[in-house]
Structure 1
Amino acid sequence: MPMTTEFCSALDTGRARSNNEDSVAIDEGTSLAVLADGMGGYNAGEVASQMATSFIVRELGRWLQEAGAQAGDADVRRAMDICVDNANRAIFNAANANPQYAGMGTTLVVAVFRESRVIVGHVGDSRAYRMRAGRLQQITRDHSLLQEQIDAGLITPEQAAFSANKNLVTRAVGVEDTVLLEMHPHDVMPGDLYLLCSDGLSDMLDDGAIGRLLAACGESLDEGCRTLIDAANAAGGRDNISVILVRVSGGSGASGRSWWPFRR
């Protein structure tokens, strides 16, 4: 039996912002999910994130539909790279053509699920996680000043939680005429649960808290999205919060529930 994917998404302005600069888009027909967290003055961040998600889900979704199962991973990665590059140029050109959009940009995380693997691409500090057998693992690495400081041994991850340098990203879509998309393939197993999120979630909740909330929410993806957003707001809600949950089921001999409850 082939593996299948189930998607759910949710957005929230949080408790400190009046508008939402996050954006999400899903194409269930091609098992494609895109999430972006915009930045820039006025409503420019909102414009950048919506341009990124709508462009990528439309163009990459169309390519995936036309290419079908015969496309290899290298083909998908190239298509993903081209679509993100084109979205980057569109946002960059719009920012330069409209003074009210000057300096706008967006982080990005995009995932394409295939039969036994997922290809994840990201720019900035929006993240992707995988929950397998009750254990949560971050499968992207932030493009941020804070992460560079951790990698250089200047601060510890514990100190990073209280750093004033949060939200200073070293890569973003639309701020320059080119952008480097980091991409990695990951094996997919029946019962896996994948989370894409903006830093409005990951800044409010550490990985341990996110894992516990997902494990406790049962099998409803809608409940999982709502639980995460409620918890981020309860912790302060200092930014917009966006989440996408993707559950993988089916496959030969799959129980479809390896992520809940905890397996030790």
Structure 2
Amino acid sequence: MILTYGDSKRGLVRKANEDAISMKVDHLFLLADGMGGYDGGQVASSLAVESGGRYFSSLPPEKAFSEEGLKEAFCAANRAILAEKRDSPALQSMGTTMVGAAISGDHLYWAHVGDSRLYRYDGGELTQVTTDHSFVMELVSEGKLTKEEMRRHPRKNEITRAVGIDENMKVDTGSMTLSDGTLILICSDGVSGMVEDDELCRLISENPRKTGEDLKALDRSIMEKVYEAGARDNASLLLIQFWN
């Protein structure tokens, strides 16, 4: 059994919500965090989840539910944004992060570009599965910055990879087997940048996750922490709860 819940909110600083989430295609979950100004960010993130979802649904299931199928869907999103930029000079600076997960049985396939994240919660532990494509994460990988320092760095919002920028976009992919009770959290940096991983883990562990209403309550708990911390960016998340 899979329970799901998605939410996307405008923060306290931005004039518009430039995030987009989609659960329109069965067992496909997409989240994008747009960039490129008031109009560009909204266009890019919406195009990404819509075109990516449409391409994914056009594939035969045995092809779609695979790392390669998700990667192709991301590439379709990339082409759609690049095409829109060619037709709309005012949107030249737009692009977006993108995270996707597709579930078949007890197997999850994921794909990722940018600094939005996919986490896995199991047995009381929260693990970040994706690696941020960001300037500060490169410094962390090189041992020049700690994860605590990363959160306060003046260039923490600079991403090194995005959808809609390069025709030869690189997409990270992976897969995992889901256990009874596994929770998947997909979120924009408006969530992960406002709430520490330890706090996210605590909120998940303290909330029951047996019903859709439980997931809605967990979402409220997380969003409350985002706004208490200042909600400096738009905040979006997808919750996917797996039970055998």
TM-score, normalising length: structure 1:
0.87
Structure 1 residue runs of 5 or longer lacking an equivalent are: 251-264
Partners of 1:150 and 1:24 in 2: CA distance: 29
2:207 aligned residue (217, 226, 233) = 217
Residue 2 of structure 2: aligned partner:
5
Equivalent position of 2:13 in the other structure: 16
SS of residue paired to 1:42: helix
Q: Confirm or deny that 1:167 pairs with 2:163.
A: no
Report SS of the residue matched to 2:97. strand
Match of residue 88 from structure 1: 78
Q: Deviations over 1:43-97 (max 9, x none)?
A: 110100000011112221342xx42xxx279x72222222211210110121122
User: Which residue of the partner structure matches residue 246 of structure 1?
Assistant: 240
The structural deviation recorded for 1:32 is 0.9
Residues 1:112 and 2:106 are matched in the alignment: no
TM norm structure 2: 0.94
Partner of 1:146: 136
Q: Is the 8 A contact 2:18 2:38 kept in 1?
A: no
Matched, 1:59 2:55: yes
What is the CA-CA distance between 1:178 and the residue it aligns to?
2.5
> What letter matches 2:18 in structure 1?
E
Distance 1:125 1:42 in 2: 19
C-alpha change, 1:129 and 1:100, in structure 2 (3 Å) is same
Q: Which residue of 2 aligns with 1:235?
A: 229
**Counterparts of 1:227 and 1:90 in 2: how far apart (Å)?**
35
5 Å-filtered alignment, 1:201-216, equals 201-216=191-206
Structure number with bigger Rg: 1
| Mean Cα deviation higher: 224-233 or 195-204 | 224-233
2-side partners of 1:222 and 1:33: how far apart?
17
The number of aligned residues is 240
Distance in 2 of aligned mates of 1:41 and 1:127: 22
**Equivalence for 1:34:** 30
Query: What's the offset of the Cα at 1:42?
Result: 2.9
Amino acid at match of 2:47: M
Provide the rounded CA distance (Å) in 2 between the counterparts of 1:117 and 1:166.
Answer: 33
- Give the conservation status (yes or no) of the 8 Å contact 1:112–1:119: yes
The structure 2 residue matched to 1:185, chosen from 175, 182, 187, is: 175
Q: What is the distance in 2 between the residues matched to 1:18 and 1:215?
A: 33
In structure 2, runs of 5+ residues without a counterpart are: none
Shift of 1:164: 0.5
CA distance in 2, matches of 1:101, 1:42: 10
CA contact (8 A) 1:104 1:174 kept: yes
RMSD: 1.5
Distance in 2 of aligned mates of 1:72 and 1:19: 36
Identity level (%):
33
